[in-house]
Amino acid sequence: MRVCCVGNRWRTDDAVALEIGERLRATLPDEVDVVLHEGEPTALLDDWDGLDAVWVVDAVSSGANPGMIHRFDAGEDAVPAELFRTSTHHVSLAEAVELARALERLPRRVVVVGIEGATFGVGEGLSPRVAEAVDPVVDLIEEEVLACMKRP
């Protein structure tokens, strides 16, 4: 079981998933691997190999209110590309998920959590409304991961 947090520390709200990942490392059991990923989302395919369940966290830009939390079960349905249309990466997370699906490398359970960003310019620090979303996302993922661990 793994949680992959995708972001860029030097692009303001794009760092929200990395902050969430740091928090999850401190709260999840040791058998849950939390990966902070600052590269291209296509590299996630290697991170997912051989896994049955994965949670992926990234900032999104859909025009919704900053700090809004989007959750998708990508094991069942496509991740809406319009949420991940703006990216500091060459390939969006939605495209990486669909590539993994096409190559039959997508884990059975893939949960994607997107946090609506306000700004993605060069700089450090999260905008206030995005920072407020960190605790609820940590709680959401922790609850889901722990429940998944209890299943036979």
pLDDT in tens, 77-133: 777 766 665 555 567 777 888 888 888 888 989 999 999 999 998 999 999 999 999
Residue 33: helix, strand or coil by DSSP? strand
Report residue 13 CA to chain centroid gap.
13
Domains and CATH numbers, the chain: 2-150 (3.40.50.1450)
pLDDT of 54 reads 94
33 against 42, higher pLDDT: 33
Contacts for 46 with CB less than 8 Å, ≥ 6 apart: none
The whole model's pTM is what? 0.88
Count CB atoms within 10 A of the CB of residue 29: 10
Distance CA 86, CA 92 (A): 8
53 forms beta bridges with 109
Distance CA 152, CA 148 (A): 9
Among 45, 81, 64, 152, which residue's Cα sits nearest to residue 115? 64
Report residue 117 CA to chain centroid gap.
13
